[in-house]
Amino acid sequence: MDPSKFEFIFSNLEIDAKPDLSASAFLWIWKPLEIAPHVGLSISGEYFSLKATGKELHMDTTKLLLLVNKKSTPLVLIEIRTEINKKDVLRIFDSFECASQLNSSCLQPISQLLDSPSGKLAELLFQLERRECLGKTYALNIEESTIGILYYDVTAIEKKLISLQHAKRR
């Protein structure tokens, strides 16, 4: 894909490598080439995410990766090099009900946890990069050698959340 379409480009990308998800914290970026991709966080082999339908807490990352591979879901995993403890993860995720608006999108609990106020994923990634908190980056079910977060504005996030809310009601 044309690099000029990306607001943030992943560096040191390892294609289809198998990270040890029990070893540290990881930022999960689901379908990274979509406008406003979904994000989650794992720590010590457990996955946490805020979705339009509620929360995913304590999901086993091994089982989640099996599902990712079975469905060939595009996923980027970024090792986070900063101290995160599970107690803080639970406290912050408990303060949210579901992803329903910009101030409660899937990004917000992760931004709070990483002390990086951000309205968009690229903003969060730039902040973490400046603080040297981004470790190895893994791409699963992605063939492009250059990949990143596409340019979009906060209205795209709001539109996506509204469409997810409507889908939830069906």
Give residue limits of the domains in the chain.
3-169
Confidence of residue 58 (pLDDT cuts 50, 70, 90): very high
Average pLDDT over residues 150-169: 67
Task: Evaluate if residue 61 carries a pLDDT over 90.
Answer: yes
What is the chain written as a DSSP string?
Answer: --GGGEEEE--SEEET----TTTSEEEEEESTTSSS-EEEEEETTEEEEEETTEEEEEEEHHHHHHHHHHHT--EEEEEE-S---HHHHHHHHHT-----SGGGSTHHHHHHHTT---SSHHHHHHHHHHTT-EEEEEEES---SS-EEEP--HHHHHHHHHHHHHHHH-
pLDDT at 53: 83
Mean of pLDDT values over 21-46 = 93
Q: What is the pLDDT of residues 7-33, one digit of tens each?
A: 999 987 888 888 889 888 999 999 998
What average pLDDT does the segment 111-135 reach? 93
pLDDT reported for residue 155: 73
Predicted TM-score of the model (pTM): 0.89
User: Residue 38 has what pLDDT?
Assistant: 93
Q: Percentage of residues in the chain with pLDDT exceeding 90? A: 56
pLDDT for residue 136: 93
Mean pLDDT of 116-120: 86
